[in-house]
Structure 1
Amino acid sequence: MSHKQGRVRSLVQATIKDENLDLYILALVAAAFTVLGVTGLSDAKTLSSVVLGLLALLALSQIKSRKVTQQIRETQGAGSRTFLRREFPADLITRRANASDILLAGRTMSRTVQGMRHDLPPILKNGGRVRIVVLDPTNESLMATANRQISHSLGAEHLRQRIHAILDDLTNMRDRVGGRLEIRVVSSIPSAGFNCLEPAKPNGIVCVQHYEFEPDGEASPILALTRDDDPWYSHFLAEAERLWHAGSDWPPAVQPQAVP
């Protein structure tokens, strides 16, 4: 086969597969019979039949176009419902209890940690890894700033005590149960709270809760992302990991006293 024949064959195949082939045929037939009608080479009866056929073809093309448009709208709508939520996924607590690799990051994580009080020991005893990062309660200016962002706040001192209580519970659990429970504190306020479950596995999930300013109820939106939602799954997981790496181990290392 010559180069010219190959190009012709490729052009024919591309034309046949083109989604607008019906419109091309419609335009060519309409142009041809327009010429035939103007020159008198075709009678009125034939032209009327062709016009009706062209209208039918045009109607079919419009139906196909509307179906494609509807599919696009449904896909976009489904994506918005999957990404943006007002509540956490219904199975988040169950998935968290059965996970073997967990990264939790946020301001206090008090509700999450209290909800996992009975789930953490089995996870740790079975060799699971749990990482938790919260605000540094020893940083007074940080507590004051964070307190101003929380709705119905009871004061910076109450926030500090709340975080200290969570940290004490976690350290006591680690001493009692053992296992890979790692705790860190950060000196900057995160933009969101993170629940990262099995992040390195195919069935991983990353839940992100936007820290809304003085919300009336649950802060939103909440994003529930899986690997199918990349690049956003990797994007928010990377942010949670950066928060973790920016933190300092808790409790702070005891500085040796200078010998007089």
Structure 2
Amino acid sequence: MSGWIGRARAFVTDDNLDLYLLALVGLVFTVLGITGLSDVTTLASAVLALLAILAFSQIKSRKLTQRINGARSGAVALRGEFPPDLIDRRASASDILLIGLTMTRTVQGMRTDLPTVLKTGGRVRVLVLDPTDERLMVIADRHRAHSQGVEHLRARIRATLDDLTSVRERHGGRLEIRVLSTIPSAGFNCLDVRKPNGVVCVQHYEFHPEGEAAPIMVLSKDDAPWYQRFAAEAERLWESGADWPAKV
């Protein structure tokens, strides 16, 4: 007896109950119509009832889809490499915030695009480690997988700063340079954050990585709330930096 009760309860609570009823009612009235046991008025009423059941099924299906989409929002894909279109997106952006340990590779890759961004009125901000902070240089060098010494790290940062300073002197524009007295937890490429098509690319600074530090996350405004959270963290890091060269 308990087995029948369990099966009945499972049938009643089944998510597909409306579809079972739709199929059953449709089959019954199809047979009645074929055999002539039901008149046109009754069949018309039955059709309306079937449409109502179908509409209810569609509403339930849409709600389920919305719940699934809601559960997916906030889930961010983790990557092992930078997206292939990141360089092109930087070149076409008008508001750029770059944060990293040395940013040597990024700045060298922007040598052609950077003057164009500045000449068209774009704003570029770059934040790297302070090469004059001896303790910071020692800690940062220990964090790297293949250390080549503190002086090598310092030279890379100074090369980045020198390149940026030279670009600013030659081309002018809104190029701001700052240095950081702490090691950030991640590197940031924040591009047109306030625009609908903005992107925030975040690279976690993995301890002693074998290759490219990972994971790497590419966030758009659809990736709420993490898009706003990481963009806000990048802004806080920028605000904590000091102008380079130091203003006297």
In the aligned structure 1, how far is the partner of 2:236 from the partner of 2:195? 19
**Aligned counterparts of 2:205 and 2:239: Cα–Cα separation in 1:** 21
Q: Which runs of 5+ in 2 are unaligned?
A: 1-12, 22-59
Question: Once the two structures are superposed, what CA deviation does each residue of 1:14-58 show, in whole Å capped at 9, x if it has no partner?
Answer: xxxx995828x98xxxxxxxxxxxxxxxxxxxxxxxxxxxxxxxx
Task: Determine the structure 1 residue equivalent to 2:147.
Answer: 153
Q: Is the 8 A contact 2:100 2:127 kept in 1?
A: yes
Instruction: Measure how far apart 1:83 and its partner are.
Output: 2.0
Percent identical? 65
Cα distance in 1, alignment partners of residues 16 and 140 from structure 2? 61
Structure 1 counterpart of 2:91:
97
The equivalent of 1:53 in structure 2 is none
Match of 2:170 in 1: 176
Structure 1 unpaired stretches of 5+:
1-17, 27-63, 255-260
Deviation by residue 1:177-212 (Cα, 9 ceiling, x = unmatched): 000000000100000000000011010000000000
TM-score (norm 2): 0.72
Amino acid at match of 1:135: L
Q: Which residue does 2:125 correspond to in 1?
A: 131
User: Aligned with 1:208: secondary structure?
Assistant: strand
1:152, distance to aligned residue in structure 2 (A): 0.6
The equivalent of 1:258 in structure 2 is none
SS in 1 for 2:157: helix
> Residues of 2 paired with 1:233 and 1:253: CA distance?
33
Partner of 1:225: 219
CA-atom RMSD in angstroms? 3.0
- Pick aligned residue for 2:192 from 194, 198, 207: 198
Q: Distance in 2 between matches of 1:21 and 1:211?
A: 48
Structure-2 residue corresponding to 1:3: none
Of 160, 167, 174, the match for 1:166: 160
Superposition map of 1:109-124 within 5 A? 109-124=103-118
For 1:166 and 1:20, locate their aligned partners in 2 and report how far apart those are by CA, in whole Å: 61
Q: Distance in 2 between matches of 1:137 and 1:200?
A: 31
Work out whether 1:186 is the aligned partner of 2:180: yes
Q: Distance in 1 between matches of 2:234 and 2:82?
A: 17
The answer as to whether partners of 2:74 and 2:224 remain within 8 angstroms in 1 is: no
- Kindly tell me the number of residue pairs found equivalent between the two proteins: 196
Structure 1 residues 205, 19: CA separation in 2 closer, same or farther (over 3 Å shift)? farther
| Secondary structure, counterpart of 2:97 in structure 1 | strand
Instruction: State how far apart, in whole Å, the 2-side matches of 1:215 and 1:251 are.
Output: 32
Contact 2:82 2:216 in 1 (8 A): yes
Task: Specify the SS of the correspondent of 1:174.
Answer: helix
- The Cα offsets for residues 134-172 of structure 1, whole Å up to 9 and x where unpaired, read as 000000000000000011110111111110111011001
- 2:38 equivalent in structure 1: none
1:234 to 222, 228, 232: 228
The alignment status of 1:212 with 2:206, answered yes or no, reads yes
The separation in 2 between residues aligned to 1:204 and 1:119, in whole angstroms, is: 18
CA distance in 2, matches of 1:219, 1:96: 20
Distance change >3 Å, CA 19–CA 112, structure 1 → 2: farther
